[in-house]
Structure 1
Amino acid sequence: MYQTTLYRVGKNELDQDDLQSLSKIEAYDRGILYGDGIFETILIKNRKLIFFDAHIRRLNMGLRRLNITFNIPIPRIKEFLLDDILDAGEKAGTLRLTITRGPNKGPLTFFKTDNPTIIVEVRPILETHPDEVVLITAAERRNERSLLASLKTINFLGNIAAKDEALSAKADEALLLNTVGEVAECASSNLFAVINNSLITPPLESGILPGITRNIVFSLASKLSLKEQSRKLLPNELKMASEIFITNSSQGITPVKEWDGQKFPGKEGPIVKQLIKAYDQEIEMESR
């Protein structure tokens, strides 16, 4: 069952920051007015939050950058998220945790707030994700110098424009280049390429989000004795790749079978096969 729960940070009877239920979000919430907030999408399996600690670390990093105070202890965060999963009755799916600056009561600055708005959405798995995808290069560009490039903010229109372009072209996902023409990431995923038997992915300074699954792939590559490197990647180099795949938290590792009309092995790629098997094992361990 799809379920949305709203909270506001306030004080409990012990004068500690805690979560208070909300029945509605104000029309003047900064998230609605300006896209002023951060979110995380976390995989649910067996009613467990997969890679929860890594998601919360990235969430807190983003909140600090935006000067949004969220002092709820991590065990308490996990407690109320698990309660929402139980209430929704879902054993598998995704949970989206969104935190906005809250009601608009200041100028167009990152004014300090102690009572942000929290939105928890539990989403069932409604459809099977494709086991391999088609990419196109989008006209939209990632600004590698922008604050938005490195944070998972709710200001998502650039990603939506790129995804819409891909779907209109009968593709599954859009590849974004940055302002200097380097490969950055996809509209809703990070990108990896196998070039000369090395696993290559663009670095953070190319304007990408520090993906949770991206970091897991680094760890798995090391365990599998695969050569891996985070470095600048040009489209002409990507054309020479023997395999391409994309990663995100909700879909894991997904092979690419075609990019801008060029064919790739997709799910038959030997390296991506190894990584998917190892990744699935990690998910199983996390969900026990």
Structure 2
Amino acid sequence: MNNEADDMKISVLSSGSGGNVTYIETNQHKILLDAGLSGVRIERLMKSINRSMKDVDMLLVSHEHTDHSKAVGVLARRYPQINVYANQPTWDAMHETIGEIPNEQKNIFPPNMVMNFGDIDIESFAVSHDAAQAQFYDFHHHNKSFVVLTDTGYISDHIFGVINNANAYVLECNHDVEMLRSGEYPWSLKQRIMSDEGHLSNEDGANSLMECIGYDTKRIFIGHRSHHNNVKELAHLTVASMLEENDFGVGTDFDLLDTDVEKASKLFTL
């Protein structure tokens, strides 16, 4: 039997259209998924959960958009112990914006692959988004799994098979459709957001959760919320109401939690 010291620990450091960073910890690894804020802000968020960037040894990048990659180059150069992982199209797309990174720190993580890193297996899966090749990840440690899935216009049957019955999720609920339609964005941008290569709405996120929640699911974080086209309370109410209407045990079988760009979630043990 595993003791708590050998469990996976997680904090959603930042999630939203303004920036995205998630921290995952095992005995052998201290991992960041994405670095979509300034290096200084990420360091401060790490300090807020009593962790240090000096201990981080892996940085996974989902795609090149700046709200996921802004500090990739800065952190890699500042902390030479960090190995950075992304697929080849993402490396190519990031090249001009993140600056030079020593070759020994650069690693290829292809989509739709499981890679083993000692006490953690990480599974990548390609998503439908208007990036060079966006991909997200399922983290497996012992018999527990943690899925991060944002920045996609829809979720395929293949992905539902990969992420089914995870212990915890960060799932995108980017926008409220009516707020987006009536907002100030140009129509071309609204079309992009609502397209199959855009972002999941609150309703899309709730419907997606109903496809993958299982008996082992204990925590769900509402992620990647737009600051212009959504409100925290509205996203939470929409998702909670839809789940409850379909007999999912919000607050009893699992916790439904909000995320924030400026404040890290409490470090929890999975």
For Structure 1 versus Structure 2, the TM-score category normalised by the shorter chain is under 0.3
TM-score, structure 1 length as denominator? Answer: 0.25
Structure with the higher strand share, 1 or 2 = 1
Tell which structure's C-alpha radius of gyration is larger: 1
TM-score calculated relative to the size of structure 2:
0.26
